[in-house]
Structure 1
Amino acid sequence: MTDVDQRECCAEYAAMSRRGLLSGAIAIGASTTVFGSAVVTASPAAAAPAPSVLVVLSMRGACDGLNLVVPHADPAYYAARPSIAVPSESLLEKDGYFGLHPALAPLVPFWTAGKLAAVHATGLPAPNRSHFAAMEAVEDANPGSSTRSGWLNRLIGTDSDSNPLQALNMAGGVPPTSLYGPQPVMSADRISDMGIAGDDQWDEDHRRLKSLHLLWDGNSSGLGRSMKATFGAVESFKTLKASPTDPANGAVYPDSDLGRALSEVARVIKTDIGVAVLTVDQGDWDHHTGEGTIEWGNLLNNARDFAGSLGAFLTDLGSWTDKVTVVTISEFGRRVQENASGGTDHGYGNVMFLAGAGVQGKKYYAKWPGLTNSLDGDLLVTTDYRSVLSEIVVSRFGISTSAVFPGFVRETVGVMAGA
């Protein structure tokens, strides 16, 4: 087993924590908010209600997919993890090869209803163990290109009828790579702060706003389009700020960063102001030490928060899940073999969860490569993560793979209906 010094091993990740690097992040057109370590970004595709909504939940720090969706039938798994392996008898929704970590119990109702699935052994086409570089590669999703454009920016950009307001930055952060690109952005500290400077209670006749409309409504320049987008955003946020704040359908969110973030996301979706893409970050998955067991540890705490928050979110949405698809991404996985500090080091392949609209659930999807109990043993990638995302893009948005993932030829995964 490898021995690691937690103080040195992930200085990179500590220095670029999502809250510090992307404090607020960027949204394509509706809202971005920071809830501690959880970051929300939102992207309206049009002023009219969006026919499909995508929620991308990034599990930052590289989650241990082997302990979330456990390959209990692979003998190398238990041989390589004498202290932290999840016992086979404790697994949920077991099939002949895989099972869910018991902390994922809040998601079981959605699994049994066919609304949740897992795709294992997914990841980048080549190993990359740097948090920063891997995050950028995953979110850019166009290897070899010198163009600074993320895959979500390209997705929204394919809609010629889209709201000209392309991105909103809350809390003054920088855009995540997935949203970075040619679309214009805005910035604000809070949704409640959004408005036109001077258009306030001291300007009862709205003369400031009227003069701005007179100046910009007929202007077709880039700045003119951005100003008109600002006017539209202000109206959209009036609707959002007036929307109900209480969860629906008896949903109870955990009192956590992720719980509060997904509660806000559900509110945006149910307001139906044209948001098509939202991103949420859950941090602290970099478990080099103290990963733990099914009774204690860092992974257990994170998995409980993840499952409790996502389960509450899906419950809160109710019938809205018929138009909302959730997908999870983590920059890379963990090594097969546990280290001497009771954790796992940076690896390669990982698992992706999909939930909601179009998902052919109640199933584990995997071209399983088998595990090796060795010092440098990785879960190999047999499914490029872009194939999973492509099925969402094609089936839910009707957009070609090439428009969002240039030069990529997807393989059929089968997790999305109609893909």
Structure 2
Amino acid sequence: MTAMDPLTSAAPQPCCPEFAAVSRRGLFTGAVALAGATTLVGSAAVTASAASATPAPAVLVVLSLRGAADGLSMVVPHADPVYYAARPRIAVPADRLLAKDGMFGLHPALAPLLPMWAAGQVAAVHATGLPSPNRSHFAAMEEVEDADPGSESRSGWLNRLIGTAPGRSPLQGFNMSGGVTPTSLFGPEPTMSASAVDDVGLPGEDEWDHGERRRSLRTLWDHDRSPLGRAMRSTYEAVDTFGPAQAAADTTSSYPDTDLGKALAQVARAIRGNVGVEVFTVDQGDWDMHAGIGSADGGWMVDNVGELAGAIAAFLGDLGDQAGKVTLLTISEFGRRVVENASQGLDHGYGNVMLLAGAGVRGGRYYGSWPGLRADGDADLLVTTDYRSVLAEVVATRFGASTATVFPRFSPEPVGVMTSL
């Protein structure tokens, strides 16, 4: 695919029982409490070998928009007449859009990203998604994050990515949401999960411990060559290696006072500590807007988009001398229908938009092949770019990794959104 030709307040509760019944935040809280620790080793830490982290040559931050964000509101196809006909009450007016070209424009709440868009640091790829529709939140999340349909292997694409790099430190993959590791990081490579940089530590270790816990662990495990011994050494050595991140300045106060702002502030702090993390996962929710989406002047969509843009802008400005190696992308399990429903919301759809920002991004442009909108039948935005093609381009250009290893049985098509190594 090539770049498009420029001529051509409080949010309501989610409506989907599967999405509302068990929130990811609830899962995280329960997992941390169950583990009895603020630092959790990844899903398969028993296979880990002890390894010290080394500075990562490239860092990828994957920001998941949980609940199915409406890409047609974030990046509006203002030149497609069906968009305005299908959304008489919730459409974003064309004269309010930012960075307009002949087809698309950015939601006005994305204004914090406009300077970076103009500087070529932010881009959008439209009509992306799974190879076939999946309208179940959790099933689609798992399918997107596994990125290997039909496989019986329990490993996510980010776990496979860090598996292509030397060293098996849990620090290579880090879930900065705390608790449960997302499917994308699940697999044989060890990973870590915490809610904040200062939460990384050994359970029970405090100022009264005087190093006794670490000495005890080393006595128990330093000479144990079993898989469990290797896992334990990998864990406490990774915690020791994380010190420079904890010594880095905490700039949370310069971010939006939101969950996403706080999480990205912690990611930036870890990156500035240069401790060897290669991939981070971060969540933002909730985007499950079946009702009460609001208008361009305010409401649920404006709040979410504004939170997203403000947090990303603060993050990109907070990286210091590490900015040249950090790429961020957004992904959501699926998009939403073209036609608004009676409750001024949008039901589950198919195609969506992905935003990319930072190092290696050919920014200031819209990418993808636009299929046109229809208001009849399923009224979905069709997918013309498999989301894995976008991810594969990031993997190949930023990490030099084998896309065949990270995305088995998939042949990516060129998108053009990333520069080559």
> Do both proteins adopt the same fold according to a TM-score greater than 0.5, normalized to the shorter chain?
yes
Q: Distance in 2 between matches of 1:149 and 1:392?
A: 19
Residue 90 of structure 1 is matched in structure 2 by 96
Equivalent of residue 353 in structure 1, options 344, 351, 355: 355
Relative to 1, partners in 2 of residues 1:368 and 1:25: Cα closer, same or farther, differing over 3 Å?
farther
Amino acid in structure 2 at the alignment position of 1:236: T
Q: Which amino acid aligns with 1:209?
A: R
Identity rate, percent: 62
Instruction: Identify the match of residue 243 of structure 2 among 219, 238, 241.
Output: 238
Q: Given residue 183 of structure 1, which amino acid in structure 2 is its aligned partner?
A: E
Residues 278 and 7 of structure 1: CA distance in aligned 2, closer, same or farther (over 3 Å): closer
Once the 2 structures are TM-superposed, how far is the Cα of residue 92 of structure 1 from its aligned partner?
Answer: 0.4
| Partner residue, 1:99 | 105
Q: 1:96 is aligned with what amino acid?
A: G
Alpha-carbon shift at residue 163 of structure 1 (Å): 2.1
Question: Aligned pair in 2 of structure 1 residues 74, 190: CA closer, same or farther (>3 Å)?
Answer: closer
Match of 1:38 in 2: none
Q: d(CA) in 1 for partners of 2:271 and 2:131? A: 33
Match of 2:414 in 1: 412
1:171 and 1:354 map into 2 onto residues whose CA distance is 20
Where does residue 43 of structure 2 map in the other structure? none
One-letter amino acid of the counterpart of residue 179, structure 1: L
1:65 aligns with 2:71: yes
Q: Secondary structure at the match of 1:275?
A: coil
| Residues 25 and 176 in structure 1, CA contact (< 8 A), matched pair in contact too | no
Partner Cα separation in structure 2 for residue 191 and residue 295 of structure 1: 36
Residues 340 and 223 of structure 1: is their aligned pair in 2 closer, same or farther, counting only changes over 3 Å?
same
Task: Say which SS state the counterpart of residue 279 (structure 1) adopts.
Answer: strand
1:334/1:378 contact within 8 Å kept: yes
SS at match of 1:108: helix
Query: Match for 1:381 among 380, 383, 399?
Result: 383
- Measured after TM superposition, the shift of residue 8 of structure 1 is 9.4
Q: Are the counterparts in 1 of residues 389 and 412 from structure 2 also a CA contact under 8 Å? A: yes
Which of 169, 175, 188 lines up with 1:163 in the alignment? Answer: 169
Deviation at 1:253? 1.3
Cα 1:348–1:268 shift into 2, 3 Å: same
1:21 to 27, 30, 33: 27
Q: Which residue of 1 aligns with 2:35?
A: none
Cα displacement (A) at 1:155: 0.8
Determine the structure 1 residue equivalent to 2:277.
Answer: 275
Distance 2:31 2:419 in 1: 31
Give the 3 Å change call, closer, same or farther, for CA 288–213 of structure 1 in structure 2. Answer: same
Shift of the 408–174 alpha-carbon distance from structure 1 to 2, 3 Å rule, reads same
Could you list the per-position Cα deviations for residues 360-407 of structure 1 after superposition, in whole angstroms to 9, with x for gaps in the alignment?
011000201000012521000000000000001101111011111111
Equivalent residue, structure 1, for 2:183? 177
**Paired letter, 2:130:** L
Hey, what does 2:312 align to over in structure 1? 310
Aligned partners of 1:189 and 1:329: how far apart in 2? 20
Counterpart pick for 1:287 among 279, 286, 289 = 289
Tell me the amino acid that sits aligned with residue 152 of structure 2.
S
Question: Structure 1 186/71 Cα, relative in aligned 2: closer, same or farther at 3 Å?
Answer: closer
In the alignment, is the contact (CA less than 8 A) between 2:170 and 2:192 conserved in 1? no
- What residue ranges of structure 1 are gaps of 5+ in the alignment? 1-5, 34-44
CA distance in 2, matches of 1:415, 1:308: 22
* C-alpha RMSD of matched pairs (Å): 2.7
Higher percent of residues as strand: 1
- Verify the 8 A CA contact 2:196 2:266 in the aligned structure 1: no
Alpha-carbon distance in 2 for matches of 1:21, 1:159: 30
Instruction: Give the Cα–Cα distance (whole angstroms) in 2 for the partners of residues 55 and 14 of structure 1.
Output: 26
Structure 2's unaligned 5+ residue stretches are: 1-11, 33-37, 41-50
Residue of structure 2 equivalent to 1:220:
225
- The change in CA–CA distance for 1:236 and 1:58 in structure 2 (over 3 A counts) is same
Displacement of 1:9 = 4.8
2:342 corresponds to which letter in structure 1? A
Q: How many residues align?
A: 395
My pick for the range that moved more, 171-180 or 332-341, is 171-180
Equivalent runs, 1:185-204 vs 2, <5 Å:
192=198, 194-196=200-202, 204=210
Q: Report the counterpart of residue 145 of structure 1 in structure 2.
A: 151
Q: TM-score, normalised by structure 1?
A: 0.87
Work out the CA distance in 2 between the residues paired with 1:130 and 1:183.
28
* Partner AA of 2:119 in structure 1: A
1:127 and 1:16 map into 2 onto residues whose CA distance is 23
What one-letter code is carried by the residue in structure 1 that aligns with 2:61?
V
Distance change (3 Å), C-alpha of 1:78 and 1:144: same
TM-score of the superposed pair, with normalisation by structure 2: 0.87
Aligned counterpart, 1:339: 341
Partner of residue 8, structure 2 = none
Distance 1:189 1:69 in 2: 30
Rate the CA distance shift 1:290–1:230 in 2: closer, same or farther, 3 A. same
Kindly indicate whether the alpha-carbon contact (under 8 Å) linking 1:129 and 1:346 is maintained by their aligned counterparts in 2: yes
Q: What's the CA shift string for 1:270-313, capped at 9, x where partnerless?
A: 11111111111000111111111111211011011111111111
Once residues 408 and 157 of structure 1 are traced to their aligned partners in structure 2, the CA distance between those partners, rounded to angstroms, is 18
- 2:332 matched to 1:330? yes
Distance change (3 Å), C-alpha of 1:165 and 1:317: closer
